[in-house]
């Protein structure tokens, strides 16, 4: 009983320290950049206003951001305005910090939770999105919340319905959310599917059907993104032509570039383009994938690129250790599939100029890296004690 009380006390002080650090970082960012209303903000706000007037309805392209529009609608319904929306995003990012800490603690140890949550706070480029009227902040926070619920479900077998609901909500914050939902539900099915399906093969069939549904959903989503036009430019980064170093971020298309007919479904167009332009597409795919994973950009400041190198790269290394030590196959399945599917999506579409497509993966990466760091620290302490 005394040990449990000490543990609760330690966790309480951890959270106080973390939230104080999180509040300081967010206050500094707000004082630095203020409120950000950008080009895409208008379409989210307009869709939210129409939902308040008409109820939920399908609006081409914007429907795939429905959850964010619903969030903005709810804020306007409460008469809180733009600042209220930003305040809500900040508060949800605080909830994300708590969830990241609890996820690391559940998966491995308190040290893992501290490492993961401090990594999230220190990587201030995540928190900057809290002050934009864009879906990034909400998606990052709900990714962290979803991951916590998935881990909690696997560790203590509770909260299946809540987890499924949050995954569904997150899926419609922005298109990559479909992979979060797929990875989360697939991990749940692999662990508990045999309880209500006759065999492991039944689970695999359900997961395959779920994957097919996701592909059909992605096909519908991509229909509004003019994907083949993006391929034909040879750009590795969205809006690369507007950047001074555009030549470093573009692959020159061949003169005989094949362009599929626009009447075909998007996924069929992709298949035709890849089959007809294999060398060009391979260069595009691996160029985008490289920029996505490495994250550094030639137009970032040297300080920004150095910060990436000393924070993100060690997290990749520690995360590879963490995947080996968590000893929870469903969580490992979720982690690997979520990251791989997002990387595949960027390679098959395009990397964004500000690198924001990596941001939603970082809560998961930081948690797994926290487990790797805690394991490394444990081994270091044991070795030192053994030597002494």
Over residues 326-376, the pLDDT tens digits come to 877 788 888 988 999 999 999 988 898 888 999 999 999 999 999 999 998
Structural domains of the chain, count: 1
Beta bridge partners of 235: 250
Q: Is residue 209 scored above 80 in pLDDT?
A: no
User: Is there a contact between 243 and 353 (Cβ–Cβ < 8 Å)?
Assistant: yes
- Nearest in space to 152 (alpha carbons), one of 121, 186, 188, 194: 188
pLDDT band at 210 (very low <50, low <70, confident <90, very high): confident
Q: Per-residue pLDDT tens for 248-284? A: 788 899 989 999 888 888 888 888 999 999 999 999 9
Q: Per-residue pLDDT tens for 76-118? A: 999 998 999 999 999 999 999 999 999 999 999 999 999 999 9
- Measured CA to CA, the distance from residue 83 to residue 369 in angstroms comes to 34
Residue numbers of the domain that contains 238? 2-387
Q: Per-residue pLDDT tens for 58-69? A: 888 888 899 999
Query: Percentage of residues in the chain with pLDDT exceeding 70?
Result: 91
pTM: 0.91
Rg (CA), the chain: 22
Per-residue pLDDT, 2: 52
Lowest average pLDDT, out of 3-7, 53-57, 167-171, goes to: 3-7
Q: Is residue 172 scored above 80 in pLDDT?
A: yes
Record the tokens describing residue 120, joined without a space: 């999230």
Q: Is residue 146 scored above 70 in pLDDT?
A: yes
pLDDT band at 295 (very low <50, low <70, confident <90, very high): very high
- How many other C-beta atoms are found inside a 10 Å radius of the C-beta of residue 45? 18
- Alpha carbon 275 to chain centroid distance? 30
Lowest average pLDDT, out of 35-44, 145-154, 213-222, 256-265, goes to: 213-222
Three-class HEC string of 277-308: CHHHHHHHHHHHHHHHHHCCCCCCCHHHHHHH
With vertex at residue 36, the alpha carbon angle to CA 31 and CA 38, rounded to the nearest 5 degrees, is: 160
Per-residue pLDDT, 228: 86
């Amino acid at each position: 009983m005394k040990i449990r009380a000490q543990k609760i006390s330690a966790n309480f002080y951890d959270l106080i320290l973390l939230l104080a650090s999180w509040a300081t970082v967010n206050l500094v960012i707000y004082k630095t950049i203020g409120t950000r209303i950008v080009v895409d903000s208008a379409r989210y706000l307009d869709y939210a206003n129409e939902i308040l007037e008409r109820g939920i309805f399908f609006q081409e392209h914007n429907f795939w951001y429905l959850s964010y529009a619903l969030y903005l609608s709810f804020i306007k319904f409460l008469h809180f305005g733009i600042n209220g929306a930003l305040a809500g995003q900040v508060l949800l990012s605080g909830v994300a910090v708590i969830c990241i800490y609890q996820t690391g603690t559940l998966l491995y140890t308190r040290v893992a939770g501290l490492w993961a949550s401090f990594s999230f706070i220190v990587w201030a480029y995540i928190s900057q999105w809290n002050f934009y009227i864009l879906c990034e902040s909400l998606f990052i926070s709900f990714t962290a919340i979803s991951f916590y619920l998935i881990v909690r479900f696997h560790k203590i077998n509770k909260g299946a319905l809540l987890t499924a609901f949050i995954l569904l909500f997150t899926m419609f914050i922005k298109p990559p959310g479909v992979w979060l939902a797929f990875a989360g539900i697939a991990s749940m099915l692999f662990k508990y599917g045999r309880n209500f399906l006759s065999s492991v093969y039944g689970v695999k069939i359900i997961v395959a059907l779920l994957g097919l549904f996701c592909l059909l959903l992605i096909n519908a989503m991509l229909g509004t993104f003019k994907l083949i036009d993006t391929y034909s430019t040879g750009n590795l980064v969205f809006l690369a032509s507007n950047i001074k170093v555009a030549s470093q971020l573009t692959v020159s298309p061949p003169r005989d570039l094949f362009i599929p007919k626009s009447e075909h479904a998007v996924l069929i167009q992709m298949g035709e383009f890849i089959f007809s332009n294999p060398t060009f597409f391979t260069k595009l795919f691996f160029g985008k994938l490289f920029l996505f994973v490495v994250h550094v950009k030639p137009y970032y400041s040297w300080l920004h690129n150095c910060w990436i190198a000393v924070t993100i790269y060690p997290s990749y290394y520690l995360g590879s250790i963490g995947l080996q030590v968590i000893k929870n196959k469903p969580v490992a399945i979720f982690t690997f599939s979520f990251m791989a599917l997002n990387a595949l999506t960027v390679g098959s579409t395009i990397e964004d100029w500000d690198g924001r497509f990596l941001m939603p993966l970082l809560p998961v990466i930081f948690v797994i890296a926290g487990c790797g760091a805690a394991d490394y620290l444990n081994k270091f302490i044991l070795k030192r004690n053994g030597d002494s």
